[in-house]
Amino acid sequence: MVSYKELGLVNTREMFAKAINGGYAIPAFNFNNMEQLQAIIMAAAETKSPVILQVSKGARNYANQTLLRYMAQGAVEYAKELGWEHPQICLHLDHGDSFELCKSCVDFGFSSVMYDGSSLPYEENIEITRQVVEYAHKYDVTVEAELGVLAGVEDEVSAEESHYTKPEEVIDFSKRSGCDSLAISIGTSHGAYKFKPEQCTRDPQTGKLIPPPLAFDVLDAVMQQLPGFPIVLHGSSSVPQEYVDIINTHGGKMPDAVGIPEEQLRKAAKSAVCKINIDSDSRLAFTAAVRKTFVDHPDYFDPRKYCGPARDLMKELYIHKIKDVLGSEGKAL
Ligand code: G3H
Ligand code: 13P
Ligand code: ZN
């Protein structure tokens, strides 16, 4: 058993309470490799922003859970080296799919876990979330749950109202499961193709897709039911079109990639939404930088020569999200 407290990590409880009161959101960035982690920590240290490092199932398969945890431990020390005296870094399991997995992360030094039972029947989702909460709280590890199904183009599910979180369920769900925060579905989705072209309008000048707005009425109704309760938004990449354009003009092919407009995320961050998940944007920045470097320098073969620019661009992206979208700059002095 390793306590996250010994590793210098923090859980989400205080972070979220301050974020709700302060009208901002904590960035939750996924990491799969060293360059992503370096960029996240450099950005958080430079802006003195609390940050959540997320480890997904894909990341565990790609990079190994043990290695990722030690990297996060190293990240705390690295943050201090960068001059961030009191780093507020949370290590979070993203989309945990079983009690056993959540338990193993608690035992191994994670400070927060998500149990994602959103695809299960309601009662089953409550029951397993409750078991995870019961175990995690013994060690002061916080638990995120999910209610409602995130729409996604990939799995052929369209953003219909029936998939949104039902506000009338959230009091019962949060009370009986005991979760510390709740991820809800209001129209965001994972990946770089968040809406089908037929769900959008098209800018006649640029030909770019203009996505439909998020269901803020559902968010408002959830907040009415659960005043002051921490709400989480998954699938919140904005899919910056400058990265998509670099990719497409340097040998890539990502037609009609579209995300959540940043002004909508800014609006959400001012409400009880206190954790905003961003992964795809970092993938796009990495890919754009690598593709451009390869085209500009076909002779390069040292990975540091193309992963370095990728790291720089990701750092720039993270700083932009922290300062201009989530508003978490200076909240972890
Ligand atoms: O929840 C989705 C995240 O973007 C992680 O995706 O499982 O491919 O790492 P992944
Ligand atoms: P994006 O694919 O929009 O970056 O969402 C990431 C996410 O929700 C991770 O859990
Ligand atoms: Zn997610």
Residues 268-293: tens digit of each pLDDT:
999 999 999 999 999 999 999 999 99
Residue 174 contacts residue 229 (beta carbons within 8 Å) = yes
pLDDT class of 163 with cuts at 50, 70, 90: confident
CATH number at residue 22: 3.20.20.70
**Phi, psi of 275, rounded to the nearest 5 degrees:** -140, 125
**Does 140 fall in a domain?**
yes
Whole-number Å distance, alpha carbon 14 to ligand 2 midpoint, is: 23
Residue 247 contacts residue 288 (beta carbons within 8 Å) = yes
Ligand 1, atom 10: nearest CA belongs to which residue? 58
The rounded distance, in Å, linking the Cα atoms of 41 and 288 is 21
pTM: 0.97
Whole-number Å distance, alpha carbon 191 to ligand 1 midpoint, is: 8
What is the CB < 6 Å shell around ligand 2?
30, 94-95, 190-191, 234-237, 277-280
Model confidence at 47: pLDDT above 60: yes
Dihedral angle sign, alpha carbons of residues 12, 95, 262, 244: positive
Q: Is 56 left (phi over 0), alpha (psi -120 to 50) or beta?
A: beta
pLDDT class of 155 with cuts at 50, 70, 90: very low
Contacts of residue 276, Cβ cutoff 8 Å, sequence gap at least 6: 25, 26, 27, 28, 232, 233, 236, 265, 268, 269, 325, 326
Domains of the chain: total? 1
- pLDDT confidence of residue 228: 97
Ligand approaching nearest to the C-alpha of 57: 1
**Does 274 fall in a domain?**
yes
- Residue 6 has, within 13 A of its CA and on its CB side, a CA count of 9
Model confidence at 161: pLDDT above 80: no
Shortest-distance atom of ligand 2 to CA 239: 3
Domain that holds residue 23: 4-322
**Does 75 fall in a domain?**
yes
248-257 burial, b if ≥16 CB within 10 A, otherwise e? bebebebebb
Q: Using alpha carbons only, give the angle 171, 176, 181 rounded to the nearest 5 degrees.
A: 65
54 pairs with which residues across the strands?
A: 30, 92
- pLDDT confidence of residue 323: 98
Whole-number Å distance, alpha carbon 36 to ligand 1 midpoint, is: 14
Model confidence at 303: pLDDT above 50: yes
What is the pLDDT averaged over residues 226-252? 98
Whole-number Å distance, alpha carbon 279 to ligand 2 midpoint, is: 5
- HEC string for the chain: CCCHHHHCCCCCHHHHHHHHHHCCCEEEEECCCHHHHHHHHHHHHHHCCCEEEEECHHHHHHHCHHHHHHHHHHHHHHHHHCCCCCCCEEEEEEEECCHHHHHHHHHHCCCEEEECCCCCCHHHHHHHHHHHHHHHHHCCCEEEEEECCCCECCCCECCCHHHCCCHHHHHHHHHHHCCCEEEECCCCCCCCECCCHHHCEECCCCCCEECCCCCHHHHHHHHHHCCCCCEEECCCCCCCHHHHHHHHHCCCCCCCCECCCHHHHHHHHCCCEEEEEECHHHHHHHHHHHHHHHHHCCCCCCHHHHHHHHHHHHHHHHHHHHHHHHCCCCCCC
Q: What is the mean pLDDT of the chain?
A: 95
pLDDT class of 152 with cuts at 50, 70, 90: low
130 lines ligand 1 (CB under 6 A): no
**Does 327 fall in a domain?**
no
183 pairs with which residues across the strands?
A: 146, 232
281 lines ligand 1 (CB under 6 A): no
Shortest-distance atom of ligand 1 to CA 62: 9
What is the pLDDT averaged over residues 243-250? 98
**Does 304 fall in a domain?**
yes
pLDDT class of 157 with cuts at 50, 70, 90: very low
**Does 329 fall in a domain?**
no
Tens of pLDDT, residues 70-123: 999 999 999 999 999 999 999 999 999 999 999 999 999 999 999 999 999 999
Q: How many CB atoms lie within 10 A of CB 72?
A: 25
**Does 331 fall in a domain?**
no
107 assigned to active site: no
**Does 328 fall in a domain?**
no
**Phi, psi of 245, rounded to the nearest 5 degrees:** -65, -45
What is the pLDDT averaged over residues 51-71? 96
Tens of pLDDT, residues 176-222: 999 999 999 999 999 999 999 999 999 999 999 999 999 999 999 99
Tens of pLDDT, residues 2-11: 999 999 999 9
57 lines ligand 1 (CB under 6 A): yes
Residue 167, judged by CB atoms within 10 A of its CB (0-12, 13-18, 19+), counts as buried
Ligand approaching nearest to the C-alpha of 188: 2
